[in-house]
């Protein structure tokens, strides 16, 4: 049996998902909640806020730590906006994501990840995957924060995010 944890998008609703995951850890009575929790799955997939959650888990953050992140930083990330551009400030999102994911790279992941994105220039769907097999190494050096930003950059909510001159949205 191949076990997949799929985490959906939804902005600040990631707080609810993080709370469910934190409760799940308590139910499992998982003493080393971070790295051990992800060992229950063969692959974790997430889009937008789900990508932030998935990447955080893959880098060894506990669901409780990610929940604290959403509670502390959510109001800062998902506030305000303006009439002429994106609804929320991408620089704020990038700063807070970088703060929690630090300088982690996808190659630092302790589990397999799948993070969907779209290349805005071409309208092509891309899937960022961790280097879990020899033919899946294209994104191994990608900063985790860039992968999260590429997936979270939903049109009208956040500005496009560029990785190696390719624009993701």
Task: Examine residue 168 and state whether it is found in any structural domain, yes or no.
Answer: no
Compute the distance between CA of residue 50 and CA of residue 48 in angstroms, rounded to an integer: 5
Task: Examine residue 52 and state whether it is found in any structural domain, yes or no.
Answer: yes
List the structure tokens of 119: 């290349």
Counted domains in the chain: 1
pLDDT reading at 48 higher than 80: yes
List the structure tokens of 165: 């001159």
Task: Examine residue 92 and state whether it is found in any structural domain, yes or no.
Answer: yes
pLDDT of residue 64: 92
Helix (H, G, I), strand (E, B) or coil at 78: coil
List the structure tokens of 48: 């937008």
pLDDT of residue 97: 87
Q: Is the pTM higher than 0.85?
A: no
pLDDT tens digits for range 58-109? 999 999 999 999 899 888 877 766 656 666 667 777 788 889 999 999 888 8
pLDDT of residue 168: 45
Task: Examine residue 14 and state whether it is found in any structural domain, yes or no.
Answer: yes
Quick one: residue 16, left, alpha or beta (phi over 0 = left, psi -120 to 50 = alpha)?
alpha
CB 168, CB 126: distance < 8 Å: yes
Task: Examine residue 169 and state whether it is found in any structural domain, yes or no.
Answer: no
Compute the distance between CA of residue 114 and CA of residue 33 in angstroms, rounded to an integer: 21
pLDDT reading at 56 higher than 70: yes
Task: Examine residue 64 and state whether it is found in any structural domain, yes or no.
Answer: yes
Task: Examine residue 47 and state whether it is found in any structural domain, yes or no.
Answer: yes
| Domain harbouring 41, CATH code | 3.40.1090.10
Task: Examine residue 145 and state whether it is found in any structural domain, yes or no.
Answer: yes
pLDDT tens digits for range 107-166? 888 888 888 877 666 666 666 666 566 666 666 778 888 888 888 776 666 656 666 654
Write out the residue range of the structural domain in which residue 8 sits: 4-163
């Amino acid at each position: 049996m191949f076990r997949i944890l799929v985490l959906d998008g939804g902005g600040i609703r990631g707080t609810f998902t993080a709370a469910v995951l934190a409760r799940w850890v308590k139910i499992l009575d998982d003493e080393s909640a971070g790295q051990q929790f992800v060992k229950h799955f063969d692959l974790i997939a997430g889009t937008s806020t789900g990508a932030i959650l998935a990447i955080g888990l893959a880098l060894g953050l506990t669901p409780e730590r990610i929940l604290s992140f959403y509670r502390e930083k959510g109001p800062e990330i998902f506030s305000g906006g303006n009439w002429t551009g994106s609804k929320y400030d991408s620089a704020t999102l990038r700063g807070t994501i970088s703060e929690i994911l630090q300088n982690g790279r996808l190659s630092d992941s302790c589990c397999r990840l799948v993070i969907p994105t779209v290349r805005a220039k071409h309208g092509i769907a891309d899937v960022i995957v961790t280097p879990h097999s020899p033919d899946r190494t294209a994104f191994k050096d990608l900063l985790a924060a860039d992968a999260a930003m590429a997936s979270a950059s939903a049109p009208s909510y956040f500005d496009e995010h560029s990785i190696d001159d390719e624009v993701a949205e």
